[in-house]
Amino acid sequence: MGKGKGIAERQAELAAELVARMEREVKQGNPVDTALSQLLRRRRELGGRDRRFLSELVFSHFRWKGWTAPLALLGPEAAAAAAYLLDAAAPHPAARAMLELCRLPGDGLAPQGGRTLAERGQALVDLWRGRLPDNLAPALLEPRALCPAWLGDELWVPPGAEPGAHLAHCLEAFQLRPPTWLAVRPGFLDALAAQLGPRAPLTPHPRLTRAAALGGNPDLDPARRKLPGFFQVQDLASQAVCEVCAPRAGERWWDACAGAGGKALGLLERMRGHGQVLASDVRRGVLESARRRAEEAGLEGLELAALDASRDDPPRDERDGLGGYDGVLVDAPCSGLGTWARNPDARWRLARADVAARADLQVRILERVAAAVRPGGVLVYSVCTLTRAEGPEAVRRFLARVAGFSPEPCPHPLDGEPTDGTAWVWPWDGPANGMFMARLRRAGR
């Protein structure tokens, strides 16, 4: 970062500018991760540490804005710096400069990383005591203020759980960024760990042996060059979906909402090169990255198609036409509550009405693709969200409309416990993204 003004002051200025721009993106419904990385890429003068600080600050701003908003009365820099410090493990000179710009003491809020929600709330009140009206604190420092007010009404509450306690558990989890998870090809964990070194330790999941949580915040590009295609960044919950699919060698699958192909590659990998996956998505552009990643990983058997799964049929197979897939995965577009810890801006981009609209789309997609499952085949439905409407209720609606499918009991992918054919990954499992999954078997052979 340039000279002239103090470095911290210039970083503070840029941080405030970025937060304001990202607020505008969120108002237009655009995800911050994409907009921010495009913007930071254009600022060539920034070093790696500057970028890390700025992106941490922006994400912290959206994570804590339900609490820090009153500080914006003293200046937007105060709110953003306080949010940064609520997450941070160490002080930062630019955060100090931002507080001072708003006439707050630069050391008025110690870094709160690792503290409880109650401790962080208290530290925030201590920062603004005497500068903002005292009566702001009790209502604003409720965990519920950290997310949209309708959240509790839409959440699925597991049988036997107390709704208030379940909501509190979710709110707490949304404030903690989960680690990055890698999906590592069997047999390559040690080679990858050696390549990443001790500052980026890998912690394998006890049951999903391909999954490893990554410590530190390393640049993965050198490891990608050294071990091309042997690992991919993939959340634990997404890997759990591939486990629930449990494809067998020689099968033919259709991943009907494939996006950039993370799960499609996971399916191919599990079939050990003896299987086929049609990966389709309504966005043609994202499929190209699925092709590139499959090539990099040396995985054969991937076919791509741009399809609207709520309307279009997959290309007819010459052998058996429609109704021929051993398995169809619908990793459906959803409200994304399960990603609110990783992408905190998502909570401010979603309207309550979106939940019902996505649920309707999910049921339409399930109804449409069901015909492509061969008799005796499997339909797996997954959504990275935690709502009732998009979870068990969407499955119930599908089963009421389409005859011949029923949930197939299977072990829970993360702990092996028996399930009724539906399973949740909660954000505190792992910790990772939250996810709902259902495995449905079509009658016949």
Ligand X SMILES: C[S@@+](CC[C@H](N)C(=O)[O-])C[C@H]1O[C@@H](n2cnc3c(N)ncnc32)[C@H](O)[C@@H]1O
- Please say which residue, 227 or 286, places its beta carbon nearer to ligand X: 286
Subset of residues 218 to 247 that bind ligand X, contact rule: CB under 6 A: 238
Helices (H), 298-424: 346-349, 352-369, 392-401
Least distance to ligand X, CB of residue 265, Å = 9
The answer to whether the beta carbons of residues 222 and 246 sit under 8 Å apart is no
387 bridge partner residues: 155
Calpha distance 351→219 (Å, rounded): 35
Q: How many CA atoms lie within 13 A of 216 on its CB side?
A: 11
State which of residues 54, 71, 182, 257 lies at the interface with ligand X (CB under 6 A): 257
> Does residue 259 belong to the site contacting ligand X (CB under 6 A)?
yes
Stretch that binds ligand X, among 254-262, 318-326, 403-411, 422-430 (CB under 6 A): 254-262
Calpha distance 440→425 (Å, rounded): 18
- Which two three-digit tokens encode residue 218? 């390393």
Angle at 21 between CA 18 and CA 27, to 5 degrees: 140
State which of residues 178, 179, 247, 262 lies at the interface with ligand X (CB under 6 A): 262
Least distance to ligand X, CB of residue 170, Å = 19
Least distance to ligand X, CB of residue 366, Å = 11
Least distance to ligand X, CB of residue 255, Å = 6
384 is catalytic: yes
Task: Say how many C-beta atoms besides its own lie within 10 A of residue 359's C-beta.
Answer: 23
Q: How many CA atoms lie within 13 A of 18 on its CB side?
A: 31
**Residue tagged active-site, from 242, 334, 384, 410:** 384
- Please say which residue, 8 or 211, places its beta carbon nearer to ligand X: 211
Subset of residues 263 to 282 that bind ligand X, contact rule: CB under 6 A: 263, 281-282
- Which two three-digit tokens encode residue 200? 């980026």
Least distance to ligand X, CB of residue 103, Å = 45
The answer to whether the beta carbons of residues 408 and 350 sit under 8 Å apart is no
407 bridge partner residues: 440
> Does residue 168 belong to the site contacting ligand X (CB under 6 A)?
no
Buried b (16+ CB within 10 A) or exposed e, 214-244: beeeeebeebbeebebbbbebbbbbbbbbbb
- Please say which residue, 36 or 332, places its beta carbon nearer to ligand X: 332
> Does residue 349 belong to the site contacting ligand X (CB under 6 A)?
no
Q: Is the dihedral of CA 99, 101, 107, 111 positive or negative?
A: positive
Subset of residues 16 to 35 that bind ligand X, contact rule: CB under 6 A: none
- Please say which residue, 179 or 336, places its beta carbon nearer to ligand X: 336
Stretch that binds ligand X, among 46-54, 74-82, 143-151, 252-260 (CB under 6 A): 252-260
Subset of residues 302 to 321 that bind ligand X, contact rule: CB under 6 A: 308-310
- Please say which residue, 84 or 253, places its beta carbon nearer to ligand X: 253
- Please say which residue, 244 or 258, places its beta carbon nearer to ligand X: 258
- Output the DSSP codes for 208-256: -TTEEEEPS----HHHHHHSTTSEEE--HHHHHHHHHH---TT-EEEET
> Does residue 327 belong to the site contacting ligand X (CB under 6 A)?
no
- Please say which residue, 238 or 276, places its beta carbon nearer to ligand X: 238
Stretch that binds ligand X, among 20-28, 55-63, 258-266, 424-432 (CB under 6 A): 258-266
Least distance to ligand X, CB of residue 382, Å = 8
State which of residues 121, 143, 327, 333 lies at the interface with ligand X (CB under 6 A): 333
- Peptide bond before 431: cis, by omega within 30 degrees of 0? yes
One-letter amino acid for residue 4 of the chain? G
Q: Which of 309, 302, 360, 312 is nearest to 330 (CA)?
A: 309
Residue 442 φ/ψ, nearest 5 degrees: -85, 135
> Does residue 183 belong to the site contacting ligand X (CB under 6 A)?
no
Residue with token string 């937007």: 76
Calpha distance 83→211 (Å, rounded): 31
Helices (H), 69-150: 76-87, 93-101, 117-128, 136-140
> Does residue 283 belong to the site contacting ligand X (CB under 6 A)?
yes
> Does residue 185 belong to the site contacting ligand X (CB under 6 A)?
no
Least distance to ligand X, CB of residue 260, Å = 5
Least distance to ligand X, CB of residue 275, Å = 17
Count of residues near ligand X by CB under 6 A = 17
Catalytic positions, please? 384
Binding site for ligand X (CB under 6 A): 238, 257-260, 262-263, 281-283, 286, 308-310, 331, 333, 365
